[in-house]
Amino acid sequence: MQIVLLCLMILKLTPAFAATVNDAYGGDPGCALGSGIYRHTCPEAEAIIFYWVEQAVAEDSRMAASLLRLHFHDCFGCDASVLLDDTQDFVGEKTAGPNLNSLRGFEVIDKIKSELELLCPQTVSCADILATAARDSVLLSGGPIWEMQMGRKDSITASKDAANNNIPGPNSTVDVLVAKFENVGLTLKDMVALSGAHTIGKARCTTFSSRLQSSSDSENIDFIASLQQLCSGLDNGNIVAHLDLATPATFDNQYFVNLLSGEGLLPSDQTLVNGNDQTRQIVENYVENPLAFFEDFKHSMLKMGSLGSPSNGQIRRDCRTVN
């Protein structure tokens, strides 16, 4: 705990790094991100977010992956639209295919927002909370730390159709993955690095059902057999498997090691080595050099985190509803 807090304090003392990142990966010109946004208006913001994330992960180690995934599914927009409940005016994103009965951690965000609203009302956006909670979840799982870029606004609407169309599905091919990432300005390398988030967390049998049917000679037969046994029940919708069997709660490069062994859980994972020579080379590099993965992951997270913050957004008082 003390080491983690020391790391956070050190990062707050490095505005030059933050400025460099903002120049390179700045978001919507109408809502540029930067460091120290809440230094005077809500100086305890990051500490409060970290406290609640630490508590949640201590109670349920899977929550680290869940909070990280919430941020992923909020982007490519990074505007807290994923947190909005349905209204008479729009159908939100919570019931979109990639999110329904899948996203978790909303109550953690609610707790963080409630305390921040008491301390510094309508100051810290829900989108910034999501991005910071994701960073802290990676750190608490043993992964890298990076300077948070703040200043996102919260959207005043949400789109189920956009979530269905933009979020890559678990059966995506490399070509589909690359296209969806490039559509928002992220590269093939960003896509592979960010896929490394699957080094923690779980997935339901329904998301990797096509892996159960595989009979290719290049597949890991024992791994496939273990998945078939796990998901053999008629009602397997709530059965989950670790995305990384070896170190399921540790943020490391084991995910990429698993891919080379044919033990990628989702089809969209395994395709990184089976479906494209370029992505396979990046995977192999991350297996050999875990520090390269950490560096690329944090920089890709900064790029993704700068996407699409609306200049006409707001700071919601309640992350589930528009003001």
199 is in an annotated binding site: yes
Residue among 41, 67, 43 at smallest CA distance from 54: 67
Establish whether 299 is a catalytic residue.
no
The torsion angles phi and psi of 240, rounded to 5 degrees, stand at -125, 155
How far apart, in whole angstroms, are the C-alpha atoms of residue 157 and residue 101?
A: 21
Single-letter residue type at 207:
T
Two tokens, residue 232: 């053999």
Nearest to 123 by CA among 49, 23, 27: 49
| 244 annotated among ligand-binding-site residues | yes
Of 40, 73, 242, 299, the active-site residue reads 73
* 81 assigned ligand-binding residue: yes
Tokens in use for 163? 């979530």
Alpha carbon 280 to its chain centroid, in Å, reads 22
Q: Which residues pair with 321 in a beta bridge?
A: 318
Residue 60 annotated in ligand binding: no
| Rounded distance between C-alpha atoms, residue 178 and residue 189, angstroms | 9
Identify the residue whose tokens are 């960003």.
190
Cβ neighbors of 42 (< 8 A, separation 6 or more) are: 116, 119, 120, 123, 124
Does the annotation place 114 within a ligand binding site?
no
CA distance to 26, 37, 74, 189, 238, per residue, from 23 (Å): 6, 16, 23, 20, 44
Q: Tokens standing for 16?
A: 């030059």
Buried b (16+ CB within 10 A) or exposed e, 149-188: bbbbbbbbebbbeebeebbbebebebeebbebbeeeebeb
Token code pair at residue 282 = 């990046």
- Feature table: binding site: 74, 77, 79, 81, 93, 168, 198-199, 244, 247, 252
Residues tagged in the binding site annotation for heme b? 198
Which amino acids are annotated catalytic?
73
Could you list the residues known to form a binding site for Ca(2+), using ranges: 74, 77, 79, 81, 93, 199, 244, 247, 252
